[in-house]
Structure 1
Amino acid sequence: MTLIAPSPRRTVSRLTILGALVALTGCGGGETKVMTLAELADRSLTFALADVDDAETPDAQGAHRFTVSYSVTADGPCSRFADDVTATFNGEPMTLVPGGASDVGGRAEACENSRAYFNFDPAAWGRQPVEDITVQLQDASSTVRLGVLKAKAKRKFTFQGEGTPDKLRVGQSYAFLWEPATEVPGPVEALLLREGGRAPGVLNVTQDGNKATIDIPAGTPQANHTLTLGADLEGSVGECTGVASCSGAIFHSQDFVLSVVP
């Protein structure tokens, strides 16, 4: 499974879309059929880049992962990769999850996607230049290629202005820039969780392009907190061959451990 363990600081809906990419749906009585890539050519390919910098569990499974996943069909059968399928990410081997019938959640008639994923090193990506991502799946019957433009990049929120992001004052506003600066993410969300707390507060965010400004409410307790900023954006597909269509998204969230002071 590629799903990142739930956290009260995160928006579960986004992680379900971007982290899991595991669809469970009715599929011909739970029948599994080994299928070549040529036989899967009428299905869509979905990709997701998850870039989650979590202060509590920085090495969580799937936190820094690129996944490609075949769609499943409502009337089955459930697809399973043939043994000769290989997958690469910019020339490096990916981990294959063959897929097939699944009883996850007690559903006997469900399909698990055929998919492949690549775990990346966020520190290495931070040192390397921005590049396109090219994924290639291949077997004896066909070659599938996906190209996502300028997607291989370490995303981050950078604190702007005076002071430091480890000490924020009640009633003040603070700005953060999404990087790479050439990207404009979807609406930035901000959550503030008090140390030892269970339910995070949702902060007001004003966004101007890749700049997000948050407000620390006047009633915020003076204590240690974790601020989580998160946003996603649609990936730009430059190449899509061997399947019916390609689409996907990039998600980044980042924790800041800080003190709220008067």
Structure 2
Amino acid sequence: MTLPVPSPRRTVSRFTVLGALVALTGCGGGETKVMSLAELSDRSLTFALADVDDAETPDAQGAHRVTVSYSVADGPCSRFADDVTATLNGQPMTLVPGGASDVGGRSEACENSRVYFNFDPAAWGREPVEDIVVQLQDATSTVRLVVQNAKAKRKFTFQGEGTPDKLRVGQSYDFLWEPSTEVPGPVEALLLREGGRAPGELPVTQDGNKVTVSIPAATPQANHTLTLGADLTGAVTECTGVASCTGAIFHSQDFVLSVVP
């Protein structure tokens, strides 16, 4: 799985969501064992929904992706059997079989077995909110994961007077996280000046899904990129065929703007 490549301004904690999905461990001794889903039933599943609206690279690989990953256990490295299939709401997912890996020069490392689905953010924005249903099957077993109301296009919507492309120093601005039924958090706000290398973290207050961002009086009057981002715990309503299921949703969004007096 290829994750979105972070730009220099990215310190928002998207990798707290995504980092657990590609596990490498030295416990496998460099050996791979093809395992059925039934043989993997004592493992845990971690899922993540990455929804990253990046102004610099809007179509970055992995920016809009649902990933479901098996944990890595002691013993030989596991690899999906050839007959394993996976779907998300009935649509086929991409399988990464896993097994022994030499990533980073670690010849005895295990890469975990996982599946992923790249979603179309525009399509999800038009479609109604609904559960995400992930199902893996082979000749031995069926694994089923349901995350309540997870299929939705998240966004931060600018509120109040003015527009989000022109913000004034010393002023505060409100944004709403949508869907409005969700409460993410905490929300972080980063502001990077055009041509700059290090983003500044802005003061943020939050009331449910409403976020207020303040533009400090000392902010340079120039073009900037404002990045808002937050995690949200996914609500699992069904988890069968494995020991446990946990995961999270991450959304970040860029606003290209001018800071003016």
Q: Normalising to structure 1: TM-score of the pair?
A: 0.97
Counterpart CA distance in 1 for 2:133 and 2:207 is 31
**Contact 1:3-1:19 within 8 A present in 2 as well:** no
Q: 1:46 to 1:130 in 2, by over 3 A?
A: same
In the other structure, the counterpart of 2:211 is: 212
In the other structure, the counterpart of 1:24 is: 24
- TM-superposition CA deviations, 1:113-149 (whole Å, max 9, x none): 1000000000000001000010000000100000000
Counterpart CA distance in 2 for 1:164 and 1:86 is 46
Question: Structure 1: any 5+ residue segments left out of the alignment?
Answer: none
In the other structure, the counterpart of 1:245 is: 244
**How many positions carry a matched residue from both structures?**
261
**Contact 1:26-1:76 within 8 A present in 2 as well:** no
Counterpart CA distance in 1 for 2:77 and 2:183 is 37
- TM-superposition CA deviations, 1:162-192 (whole Å, max 9, x none): 0000000001000100000000002000000
In the other structure, the counterpart of 2:121 is: 122
Counterpart CA distance in 1 for 2:233 and 2:53 is 19
**Contact 1:235-1:250 within 8 A present in 2 as well:** yes
Which moved further from structure 2: 57-66 or 21-30? 21-30
- TM-superposition CA deviations, 1:177-216 (whole Å, max 9, x none): 0000000002000000000111000001000000010110
In the other structure, the counterpart of 1:138 is: 137
Counterpart CA distance in 2 for 1:19 and 1:152 is 21
Counterpart CA distance in 1 for 2:3 and 2:201 is 23
**Following TM superposition, by how much is the alpha carbon of 1:28 offset from its aligned partner in structure 2, in angstroms?**
2.6
The alignment partner of 2:26 has SS state of coil
The alignment partner of 2:122 has SS state of helix
Please give the residue correspondences for 1:39-58 in structure 2 after superposition, counting only pairs within 5 Å: 39-58=39-58
Q: CA RMSD in A?
A: 1.1
Question: Structure 2: any 5+ residue segments left out of the alignment?
Answer: none
User: Which amino acid in 1 is paired with 2:248?
Assistant: A
**Following TM superposition, by how much is the alpha carbon of 1:14 offset from its aligned partner in structure 2, in angstroms?**
2.6
Percentage of identical aligned residues: 89
Counterpart CA distance in 2 for 1:217 and 1:115 is 44
**Following TM superposition, by how much is the alpha carbon of 1:26 offset from its aligned partner in structure 2, in angstroms?**
1.6
Counterpart CA distance in 1 for 2:256 and 2:178 is 20
User: Which amino acid in 2 is paired with 1:17?
Assistant: V
Counterpart CA distance in 1 for 2:251 and 2:83 is 33
User: Which amino acid in 2 is paired with 1:69?
Assistant: S
2:227 is the counterpart of 1:228: yes
2:66 is the counterpart of 1:71: no
**Following TM superposition, by how much is the alpha carbon of 1:13 offset from its aligned partner in structure 2, in angstroms?**
4.5
In the other structure, the counterpart of 1:37 is: 37
**Contact 1:170-1:217 within 8 A present in 2 as well:** yes
**Contact 2:159-2:176 within 8 A present in 1 as well:** yes
Counterpart CA distance in 2 for 1:240 and 1:196 is 47
**Contact 1:18-1:250 within 8 A present in 2 as well:** no
In the other structure, the counterpart of 2:198 is: 199
**Following TM superposition, by how much is the alpha carbon of 1:160 offset from its aligned partner in structure 2, in angstroms?**
0.5
User: Which amino acid in 1 is paired with 2:8?
Assistant: P
Q: 1:116 to 1:254 in 2, by over 3 A?
A: same
User: Which amino acid in 2 is paired with 1:62?
Assistant: G
Counterpart CA distance in 2 for 1:5 and 1:76 is 32
**Contact 2:172-2:213 within 8 A present in 1 as well:** yes
